[in-house]
Every structure is written in C-alpha cells, then in structure tokens.
Amino acid sequence: MTNNSSLKDLLGLERLNSAQIEAILDKAASFKKTPPKDLLAGRTVAFLFSEPSTRTRSSFEMAAKRLGAEVLSFSAAGSSLSKGETLLDTMLNLQAVGVTHFVVRHERSGVLEDLAPAVKACVVNAGDGWHEHPTQALLDLMTLRERWNGFKGRKVVVLGDIRHSRVARSNLYALKKLGAKVVFCGPTPLAPDAFKELGAIVEHDVERALRGADAVNVLRLQTERMDQGFVASLADYALSYQLTPERADLMKPDALVLHPGPMNRGVEIDSAVADGPRSVILEQVANGVFIRMAVLALCDEGRS
C-alpha cells in the first residue's frame, strides 16, 4: 500500500500509516451508507482457508457477492495441496483460470509475505498464525469510530489470550497509529512483558487494567494453540480474568465491550456483559461485511 492509499494486497496493519488505515475505514463507511452495485462484476474471489472459520469466511463471501464478484470456495483437504502442491503453485493455477482476488487463512505466520509479490491477483490476509488478522482489527476500529469522534487519548484494553492472538497484534498496530493507548491484560504466560516492545502497556491485574478504560476487546483462550501450563484451568482463569458486570463497571460509564468471536460465555466473558448495553459485538459482525467490501474494492483499484 502506498501513501496515496492505493493497495494491491492487504497483508497486515503493521506497515500501514494512519492515513491508509483511515482511508479503508472511510471507504467502509461510504459503502455502509450507500451500497455499491456490481463494483467487482467480472472478478473472481477465491477463498483459500487451511484453518476453520465461520465469521471471517462468511463475511468475506457476503462482501464479495455484494460487490458483484464470483466466489470460488476452496478446501485444502482433498485439493492438490493435500498432494504436495505448494500454496504458490495452487494460487498461480487458480490465477491462470481467472481468479483476481485471493482471501487466505493459513496456520503459518507471515506465509503471505513472499506469496503476494509472486502473483498478479490481489491477496488479502484473513489470518496467518499468530501474526495478524487485519480485517478483524479494521472492523473493530470501524465499530469504535462510529461511537467516538476519534481515537486520540482513548484507552483500549485487550483482555485475554494475547500471546496466541493475531487479533491483538493487528489491533495494537492500528490503534497506536490512530493515537490510542493500548493495554494488554492477562496472566503472565498469556500476556508476556515482551509485548511492551511493540508499544503496548502490559498489565496483569485485571481491575487495574480496566479502570478508566474507554473500551475492552475480550479474547477467548486459544486452547488449540496452547501446550500445558498456560492456565491452571478454565475455572481458575474465569475467576481471575472473566469480564464480569462488576469488572465492566470499573470502565468509563460509556465504555464499549467488543469480542472478535467465537465467544466462550462463562469463561472470558459473562453473558450479562456480552448481551448488555455496553456490548457492540453484533455491530462488529455487521461492520465486518463493509470493511471487507472496502478492502476487496481498494485492492482491486490497486491491481488495476
């Protein structure tokens, strides 16, 4: 992505500047106000997902269809990838038959950094290992921006399993560039002090972290990425770090509660908070379609 906000690919938010991030948010807001018709007619968007996904994949598919694009669903299982073909060869073959956009989720961090320059089609990161999940962070920002005049001086807490979270990293990169203060909170094994090097404030006391916050983004425990020893038990974690109504009341009166999903009620968040007046969780889901429409459209402009 260049300084004039043109982009062919969206691999992450770490390398983008504030103007580029705002340009994506502005485009999404425009699409939400006035939905475009057939903007990507004649284009084909292929989904290459080697990890499970419900929200992200369905949101991207809806975004592509609303823009008038054809959608090609692709499963790694049973494909040539399972027979030893490289991801790049798969992408080149699909590009040869007309694919113009790739939306990729992969278990290996940074896998798209070398692939994107090797193809002419647009490449959008839908989550790579622990690295980044740029469109999730963008939809989080869109949801907050609709309620706030700006991000400067705002305190945003990211609560939960930071270590294994690509969502936490992408949110940190974007929020810092827009002027917010970001606090990572969780038990030491899941919120190590090393994140201070990325510009986050790291706090292990949940009450201290939440006090005076403008928003909290609650993350689930990614047990599928964990070895033993990160938490004693789910019950122990919930006792110490669950976002309960009492803990939510430590934030500002108008503070917002976000969650990227999937949500484990009774573990990282109490249902009374998830369904309460502070929650903008379903607004996040709805805004995801507009953010992904904006990304696909802007990448298409950059490709052209």
Domain ranges of the chain: 9-133+287-303, 136-284
The model's confidence at residue 2, banded by pLDDT at 50, 70 and 90, is very low
pLDDT at 122: 98
What is the average pLDDT across 262-283? Answer: 98
Q: How far apart are CA 196 and CA 261, in angstroms?
A: 25
* pLDDT value at 227 more than 70: no
8-66 confidence digits (pLDDT tens): 999 999 999 999 999 999 999 999 999 998 999 999 999 999 888 889 999 999 999 99
**Tokens encoding 251:** 């934030």
Q: How far apart are CA 286 and CA 143, in angstroms?
A: 9
222 or 29, higher pLDDT? 29
Q: How far apart are CA 140 and CA 301, in angstroms?
A: 24
User: Is the fold of 9-133+287-303 the same as that of 136-284?
Assistant: yes
The residue written with tokens 């921006």 in the block is 145
Give the neighbor-by-neighbor strand order of the sheet with 70-75. Answer: 70-75, 44-49, 101-106, 122-128
Residue 195 one-letter amino acid: F
In this structure, the strands spanning 201-203 and 44-49 are unpaired
Q: Is the previous residue joined to 189 through a cis bond, with omega within 30 degrees of 0?
A: no
* pLDDT value at 86 more than 50: yes
Share of the chain above pLDDT 70, in %: 92
Q: What are phi and psi of 100, to 5 degrees?
A: -110, -20
Question: Regarding the domain delimited by 136-284, which CATH topology (the fold level of the hierarchy) does it fall under?
Answer: Rossmann fold (3.40.50)
The residue written with tokens 């982009």 in the block is 7
The residue written with tokens 């770090």 in the block is 241
What is the average pLDDT across 157-185? Answer: 98
**Tokens encoding 243:** 């976002």
112-157 confidence digits (pLDDT tens): 999 999 999 999 999 999 999 999 999 999 999 999 989 999 999 9
According to CATH, the superfamily of the domain at 9-133+287-303 is: Aspartate/ornithine carbamoyltransferase (3.40.50.1370)
Could you count the other beta carbons within 10 Å of the beta carbon of residue 218? 24
Q: Enter the pTM of the model.
A: 0.94
The candidate with the shortest Cα–Cα distance to 191, out of 227, 215, 157, is: 157
Residues paired with residue 155 on neighbouring β-strands, in sequence order:
181
